[in-house]
Amino acid sequence: MIRRVLPLLALALVVVVAGCGAGGSGGSGSSTVPAHPADLPPTPRERAAEREAAQRPPAPTCPADAGNCKTAAGRVIALESVDPDGDGDLHLILAGGSITMPGISVLDVNKDLRPKVDPKIGDWAAGAGPVYPGSHRQKQIQVTAVEVWPRR
């Protein structure tokens, strides 16, 4: 009896294994794996980022004739609401742009341009303006235009 069952089991195993391999290039099954990772559908995180980008305001830009003007946009990773020199400026440190160091930009927001409510860490902010050294000799944007999202 075992001599009759073993060939049938071997045949069944071959059929199962062959069925698992279908779908590759040259196979008769339909392929569910894209040829390139860029062809993959967006992940839920990527879709959420696209929706958010569509909702937030556009980043400010520099005038075409401005020589020392730069822009930076990104997530707020730190902020200084109370300026040590007491002039009422708001300093935002962004994970974005490369004004201060690679991937990091500091925005110096004058009290006249300061938003009604300070942004929170994780909020998106963008600014444009001339680049000057800060109090610690770091490069920072003295913003002439600023956007923060979400607006509160």
What token pair was written down for 91?
């300093």
pLDDT, position 7: 66
Q: Average pLDDT of 22-27?
A: 49
In this structure, what token pair is assigned to residue 60?
């400010």
| CA 91 to chain CA mean position, Å | 21
The tally of CA atoms less than 13 A away on the side-chain side of residue 40 is 9
**Predicted confidence (pLDDT) per residue in 83-127, tens digit:** 777 788 999 999 999 999 999 999 999 999 999 999 999 999 999
**Does residue 139 sit in helix, strand or coil?**
strand
For domain 60-149, the question of CATH label 2.60.40.10 is answered with no
- pLDDT tens-digit map of 40-56: 888 899 888 888 888 88
Amino acid of residue 131: V
Q: Is 123 helix (H, G, I), strand (E, B) or coil?
A: coil
- Round to whole Å and give the CA distance between 15 and 33: 22
Residue 86 corresponds to which tokens in the numbers above?
């007491």
3-state helix vs strand vs coil in the chain, percent to 5 = 20, 30, 50
Q: How many CB atoms lie within 10 A of CB 128?
A: 22
CA torsion angle 106 134 60 110 (round to 10): 110
Q: Which region holds residue 16: left if phi is over 0, alpha if psi is between -120 and 50, else beta?
A: alpha
- Model pLDDT, residue 56: 83
Task: Sketch the domain layout of the chain as residue ranges.
Answer: 2-37, 60-149
Longest distance between any two alpha carbons in the chain, whole Å:
95
